[in-house]
Amino acid sequence: MPVETRDISLAGRVLAPFSDVLGEKAVPDDLAELGQLVKTPEANVIKLPNVSASVPQLKACIAELRSSGYPLPDYPDEPKTDQERETRARYDRAKGSAVNPVLREGNSDRRAPRSVKDFARANPPRMKPWPQGSKTHVATMGSGDFRSNEKSLTAAEPTTVRIEHVAPDGTVTPLKASLELQAGEVFDATFMSRRSLVEFLREQVEDARRQGVLFSIHLKATMMKVSDPIIFGHAVRVFFEEVFAKHGAVLTQAGANPNDGFGDVLSKIAKLPEEQRGAIEADVRAVYERGPGIAMVNSDKGITNLHVPSDVIVDASMPPLVRDGGGMWNAEGKLQDTKAVIPDSSYAPVYQAVIEDCQANGQLDPATMGSVPNVGLMAMKAEEYGSHDKTFEIHAEGVVRVVDAAGSSLMEHRVETGDIWRACQTKDAAIRDWVKLAVNRARATGSPAVFWLDRTRAHDAELIQKVERYLGEHDTTGLQIEIMAPAEATRYSLERIRRGEDTISVTGNVLRDYLTDLFPILEIGTSARMLSIVPLLNGGGLFETGAGGSAPKHVQQFEEEGYLRWDSLGEYMALAASLQHLGEQFDNAGARVLAETLDTATARYLTEGREPARKVGQIDNRGSTFYLTLYWAQALAAQQADAALAERFRPIAEEMTASESTIAAELIGAQGSPQELGGYYMPDPERTAAAMRPSETLNRIIDAI
């Protein structure tokens, strides 16, 4: 059973498109290869978390690779030549959610395994109480946003459409020359008004000042790689409006780009002549002094919510706010009530419903609460909002229209300069498979399945027609299947959670992403321990290893202290599911034994508390991995289903058991000193292996297998 690896890291994705300029340093396009593999019945892919890069992260990766000898061109912020536009296009393929649309050729089944849920109930994660009189709330747009401007249709037959901008004088500018629509495909188009967004942000900054709460912006500038950095930039401009009004020309000349965050603006200010720099810095201080307070990413280092667009990602930032009793960290390093600004109203009500529930009923209790597993629509690039080549910042007023092959206008939006227009597609086959997966999960678990769809939203109304039709293809006798708007579904699920009951959330792609962080973080303390299975449309399997949002801070701690807090339980569970799929698909008895014994090992890993702790001198990832390996070897040696496997692993288990104290001491002893890995985005393999495998005793045992 050969096991191969492929590189889908940001560095690998950056290098792959430049094979023509890298010469002997060229690397294969592993992501493209995997994209073909997942369309085959024999596919069995375990996907680790990957970086959905913002522009600052992309630039940092390029700089690191260039310093390592890769002759990459600079990232052109404002390409002026055809060559620069081509370079920018190549780099942008690596930006944002570049991996998931390629690999996710199936819908998502994501849930907390029973062993993980039982462990969380016995060892509930820390939750802070909600204070009386909490002012924390979500602020979202009431008009002018993506939800309110959305138009949607279902293609009656295959067709080709184009997207174009028509100026007031009749000049037509192509935005997307040709786009294929399949019969039954749902197609959406909408826009966010720049004017409405800026007015909304101004109101929220002033209201936060008036209420004495922190101002915070919650977007997804990584996955929504085109739309959300623009929205983030407007938030920076509005919060520091006086600075940009007074010094805008100087900042523009210095190359400051608010879309890359206020940290980028500050870095450009630091390079200005002393007189200019001092005047601008004084005005920045004045903004901070007048308030409102701003939520902090790192209070000690003065890094705010507006510094870097990839620092505050909505699905990773809102659950801790709920967990921490509605507070985010202020400049003094204390929790404070917060205005969570989520401009688009499509899904913001979900978070407001959670906040209102906690304010009315108190903090949730992981020791008793139920679970909200998810069945997510994501196959065939479903609902890839704001992240692809159908999202545009409008550069002149006029009309954006979608025109079919016969020249008929299917959709039109009147737009102004700076508006953000976007379209998305959702294939009929993906929707049909999604409904089937939801019915199967409801049948397997006996839990209610709720489609989180809003009949008053254009896109959801189209999906509801399909859901109701495709449910008729299945035997739903005895099943409870509901359709509820997201806020209603949130309240319903929370009522059941507080009674210890489970409810399956059946959602589109964006809500899938949000809910599979929200509920796991509240239920089990992390989304990294979720079992994420993607039954691929053509029969293969994709097994995801949990969310990686906390990974950067863990890597930073490892580099500084030689202590890696990352919990690899998600990887262990994905491996077990992969082996189980292999055993069932090819009737491989040995793979089934490996899967069953790995499940036994992960359960013991939890019950004996072998997960990474928090600081130097305690068990870290390397120690956790050792104990998982020990327990797996012991389980393989003890099982009776496969005598050959038992015989093969018995001496390994015995040697590791006898050497347990020595190995544990060697692993603990390796902590406490800085680690030089030779790169952040592309670490040196030898240095990384040496840092991650510091136990000579364990290495000798493993290398002898």
Mean local confidence (pLDDT), 349-363: 98
If one compares 373 and 549, the residue with the highest pLDDT of the two is 373
The burial of 491, by beta-carbon neighbours within 10 Å (0-12 exposed, 13-18 middle, 19 or more buried), is given as: middle
Please name the residue that has the structure tokens 């290869």. Answer: 33
What is the share, in percent, of the chain residues with pLDDT greater than 70? 99
What pLDDT is attached to residue 386? 60
pLDDT in tens, 599-657: 999 999 999 999 999 899 999 999 999 999 999 999 999 999 999 999 999 999 999 99
Question: What confidence tier does 177 reach under pLDDT thresholds 50, 70, 90?
Answer: very high
Angstrom distance (rounded) from CA 119 to CA 110 = 18
The reply to whether omega before 229 is within 30° of 0 (cis) is no
Angstrom distance (rounded) from CA 63 to CA 57 = 10
How are beta strands 44-47 and 541-544 bridged, if at all?
parallel
What is the share, in percent, of the chain residues with pLDDT greater than 90? 90
The angle formed by the CA atoms of residues 39, 43 and 45, to the nearest 5 degrees, is 110
Question: What confidence tier does 548 reach under pLDDT thresholds 50, 70, 90?
Answer: low
pLDDT in tens, 306-351: 999 989 999 999 999 999 999 999 999 999 999 999 999 999 999 9
Question: What confidence tier does 291 reach under pLDDT thresholds 50, 70, 90?
Answer: confident
Contact 218, 341 (CB under 8 A): yes
In sequence order, the β-bridge partners of residue 459 are none
DSSP 258: G
What pLDDT is attached to residue 615? 92
If one compares 84 and 551, the residue with the highest pLDDT of the two is 84
What pLDDT is attached to residue 223? 81
Angstrom distance (rounded) from CA 251 to CA 264 = 11
Angstrom distance (rounded) from CA 380 to CA 6 = 21
Angstrom distance (rounded) from CA 46 to CA 582 = 12
Please name the residue that has the structure tokens 């929370």. Answer: 494
pLDDT in tens, 150-161: 999 999 999 999
Q: What SS3 class is residue 338?
A: strand
Q: What SS3 class is residue 17?
A: helix
Angle between helices 509-524 and 348-361 (to 10 degrees): 20
pLDDT in tens, 514-525: 999 999 999 999
Read off the pTM.
Answer: 0.90
Which amino acid, one-letter code, is at 238?
V
Output the six-digit token pair for 158: 């295959």
Q: How far is CA 678 from the centre of its chain?
A: 26
Contact 189, 149 (CB under 8 A): no
Among 94, 220, 297, 142, CA closest to 512: 220
Q: Is 385 left (phi over 0), alpha (psi -120 to 50) or beta?
A: beta
Angstrom distance (rounded) from CA 476 to CA 446 = 11
Question: What confidence tier does 1 reach under pLDDT thresholds 50, 70, 90?
Answer: low
What pLDDT is attached to residue 51? 78
What pLDDT is attached to residue 449? 98
Output the six-digit token pair for 303: 């890094």
Angstrom distance (rounded) from CA 451 to CA 468 = 10
Question: What confidence tier does 222 reach under pLDDT thresholds 50, 70, 90?
Answer: confident
Whether residue 583 has pLDDT greater than 80 = yes
Return the domain boundaries, the chain.
1-102, 194-358, 550-705
Among 347, 379, 422, 418, CA closest to 151: 422
Q: Cα dist. 275→270, 271, 280, 369 in Å?
A: 11, 11, 9, 58
Which amino acid, one-letter code, is at 5?
T
Strand ranges (DSSP E) for 193-273?
214-217
Q: What SS3 class is residue 95?
A: coil
DSSP 130: P
What pLDDT is attached to residue 385? 77
pLDDT in tens, 673-694: 999 999 999 999 999 999 999 9
Mean pLDDT of the chain: 95
Angstrom distance (rounded) from CA 488 to CA 485 = 5
Contact 175, 163 (CB under 8 A): yes
Question: What confidence tier does 387 reach under pLDDT thresholds 50, 70, 90?
Answer: low
In sequence order, the β-bridge partners of residue 110 are 374, 532
74 C-beta neighbours (distance < 10 Å), count: 12
Contact 243, 254 (CB under 8 A): no
Which amino acid, one-letter code, is at 384?
E
What pLDDT is attached to residue 547? 66
Mean pLDDT lowest among 31-35, 112-116, 412-416: 112-116
What is the H or E stretch that residue 187 is in? strand 186-192
The burial of 448, by beta-carbon neighbours within 10 Å (0-12 exposed, 13-18 middle, 19 or more buried), is given as: middle
Mean pLDDT lowest among 28-37, 444-453, 478-487, 540-549: 540-549
Whether residue 530 has pLDDT greater than 90 = no
Angstrom distance (rounded) from CA 677 to CA 670 = 15
What pLDDT is attached to residue 389? 83
